Structure 1
Amino acid sequence: MRIICLVLYYLFARKLPRSTTPFFGRVSRKVRYFCVKRIFKYCGRDVNIERNAYFGSGANLEIGDFSGIGYHCEVPANIKIGSYVMMAPEVFIPTNNHAFADRLTPMCFQGVKESARTIIEDDVWIGRRAVINPGRYIKKGSIIAAGTVLVKDYPEYSIVGGNPSILIKNRNV
């Protein structure tokens, strides 16, 4: 059933209108949810996967209640997303990075280095076109500003922005 839903998602459901489109949006959202509920390792209640979201096989993807993957986002197949996570359009989270340690071998021949699993805790807001480097751990209550290139981890309730990312403010204060 998982394979059938994966094929159904990528051939049909992924192309349906956005969830905000009048009438068809609600139906589109339900069809995508039907598919991912059977694809993901864990899929919580009222999850919204937007149009053109890409998550590879999704076999080890976990997503909590009331969370979403935004329009045209690309996330790894093994990401863990908590509850109440908002992800704006065009967020990009790669699976791994290229290896480049050997200066005598061209980088294109060094392959890739596997990264740790990317984890996003509960109540996180990720802005449009944010790039989150592989293996990042985004802690509870954090806000990642639009266009941020997240290169390191920050404490809970952080507001982070920039390229490379810097701590703008802590929401605990």
Structure 2
Amino acid sequence: MIHTFTRYILRGLLKHNQDLIYKIILNQKEVSQKIINNNIDSIEEAIDNNKIDKCLKQVTLAPSSRFYKQATVFNLQNDRKRIIIGENTHLRGNLQLFAYGGYLTIGNNCYIGENSYIWSGDRIDIGNNVLISHNVSIIDSNSHELNHLERATGYLTIINEGHPKEKGSILTAPIKIKDHAWISFNSIILKGVTIGEGAVVAAGSVVTKDVPDYALVAGNPAKIIKYLNQN
């Protein structure tokens, strides 16, 4: 009899307090979700910080400059003095030195966009106030041998033994990008090229020859479109 009466009372309470009970359950779900989200955010932040720390350990970076979570560095020479980055420069792209050689300097007040690749097996010097947009490739070597048999052997060596410390017949030549240049998105700068001061490389260009100071170039291969006002 008492059991039946208790069940009757409980049913009554549930009937008249459904909204309150629903709010309590909903609030518990929201609290649980917030806890989960906070944990996910903490994990993601830790992963991002670990990525940035790996970059910092491989370069010589001025205190006011910054790597972002999109950036990666592969310094295959394990010498942080061979990648030097100046003041107030912001990096979201990929920097790499080959095991057989390479040296990279980036000046002050520069920007390296996301998914841009700067790979050196010789030497790349980037001046001050240089803007490099996203999806740009700058590489001072052919990366592989021209001879088909050497190339096949070289590839297998990389896969089986790691990157070689001798470049062999791989062709390299230094790249220089002078102050105030702007390399727009999806452009490619090939070995041996100098980009002049204040020059602009239009989006999607492939630069195979030197670009004069304050020239605007575009196309594949890039050609001079006009000269810009220096004032």
Q: Normalising by structure 1, report the TM-score.
A: 0.69
Instruction: State the SS of the aligned residue for 1:56.
Output: strand
Structure 2 unmatched runs, 5+: 1-46, 55-64, 74-79, 155-168
For the pair 1:128 / 2:167, whether they are aligned, the reply is no
Identity %: 29
Matches within 5 A, 1:17-166: 30=66, 32=68, 41-50=83-92, 53-57=93-97, 60-77=103-120, 78-97=123-142, 98-100=144-146, 108-109=151-152, 113-166=170-223
4+ residue stretches of structure 1 with deviation over 6 A?
none
The higher radius of gyration belongs to 2
| Per-residue deviation, residues 71-115 of structure 1 (Å, max 9, x unmatched) | 111112332100000000010122312554x6xx65745965322
Contact kept in structure 2, 1:142 and 1:159, CA below 8 Å: yes
Give the residue type in structure 2 aligned to 1:13: I
Is the CA contact 1:67–1:85 (under 8 Å) kept in the aligned structure 2? yes
Q: Which amino acid aligns with 1:161?
A: A
**Can you give the 5+ residue segments of structure 1 that lack an aligned partner in the other structure?**
1-7, 16-28
Aligned length: 145
Q: Residues 79, 144 of structure 1: CA spacing in aligned structure 2 closer, same or farther, 3 A cutoff?
A: same
Mapped partners of 2:203, 2:89: distance in 1: 22
CA distance in 2, matches of 1:31, 1:159: 29
Letter in 2 for 1:42: I
User: Secondary structure of the equivalent of 2:138?
Assistant: coil
**C-alpha root-mean-square deviation of aligned residues, in Å?**
3.4
Aligned AA (1:152): K
Give the Cα–Cα distance (whole angstroms) in 2 for the partners of residues 169 and 155 of structure 1: 11
Q: CA deviation at 1:30?
A: 3.6
Letter of the 1:74 partner, please give it: Y
More helix by share: 2
One-letter identity of the residue aligned with 1:72 = N
Change (3 A) 1:12 1:146: same
Question: Which structure is richer in relative contact order (CA contacts within 8 A, separation 6 or more)?
Answer: 1
Query: 1:99–1:110: 8 Å Cα contact kept in structure 2?
Result: no
After alignment, is 60-69 or 89-98 more displaced?
89-98
Q: Is the 8 A contact 2:145 2:171 kept in 1?
A: no
Q: Measure the CA separation in 2 of the matches of 1:10 and 1:54.
A: 16
Amino acid at match of 1:140: E
